[in-house]
Amino acid sequence: MITVGLSGGIGSGKTLIAHIFATLGISVFYADEAVKALYDADTGLRHTLIDLLGGDIYKDGHLQRKRMASLIFANDTLMQKVNALTHPKVMLQFEQWAQQQPSPYVVLEAAILFESGSDKKMDYTIAVTAPEPLRITRAMQRDNATEQEVKNRMKQQWNDEQRNGKANFIIMNDNEQAVLPQVITVHQHILKTL
């Protein structure tokens, strides 16, 4: 199965772009959703997270995501530890899922695709990019967050330049260039290589 990794910084619009691939009939695996499901479903992971972040990180069996965010977004080492715990599990799920998909190729949407090195496992990679002020505004509106909160999260991620330097394709989602034709161009390019 041909695999295509799709990533982008906070507020770049990678989920929106992933949805466009889905409307073209391409199966999309949403890694960040899969991680959220794992937090509550994987008992081993729960115990490790409690050891790492404290007992109050779970309440009634559910991860307290705001609490975790406030701890790990302020601490690079903790963030890396949590990613190192969850990312391999999610990649395994993705690989098993990919084998069962009927579409000509599959898309993996993941916030830390490049940071984690998982881009190297993909046949193609796409970076979704947008000017930083626009990304900040989008994320503030969507999450009802402050500018500082969004900037703190951005600091933990690679910047657009780093991602764009590694990606096979770049999709510009700046509210000026239409994204649909860009997605269709990438889609057709990949289909031609099959």
Helix (H) or strand (E) holding 4: strand 2-8
Task: Determine, following the binding rule CB under 6 A, whether residue 152 of this chain makes contact with ligand ATP.
Answer: no
d(CA 43, CA 61): 9
Given the complex with ligand ATP, which of 3 and 173 has the nearer CB atom? Answer: 173
Distance in Å, CB of 86 to ligand ATP, minimum: 16
Binding flags for ligand ATP, 62-91, as an x/- string (CB under 6 A): ------------------------------
**Count of chain residues binding ligand ATP (CB under 6 A):** 15
Helix intervals (H) in 61-178: 65-72, 76-99, 132-143, 147-155, 160-166
List the interface residues with ligand ATP, window 164-193 (CB under 6 A): 173, 175, 179
Residue 16 within binding range of ligand ATP, rule CB under 6 A? yes
Q: Which two tokens stand for residue 73?
A: 């977004």
Q: How far apart are CA 168 and CA 189, in angstroms?
A: 11
Tokens of 138: 């989008």
**What whole-number distance in Å separates Cα of residue 165 and Cα of residue 151?**
22
Of 47, 142, 155, 189, the one binding ligand ATP (CB under 6 A) is: 142
With respect to ligand ATP, which residue has the nearer C-beta, 5 or 13? 13
Binding site for ligand ATP (CB under 6 A): 8, 10-16, 111, 138-139, 142, 173, 175, 179
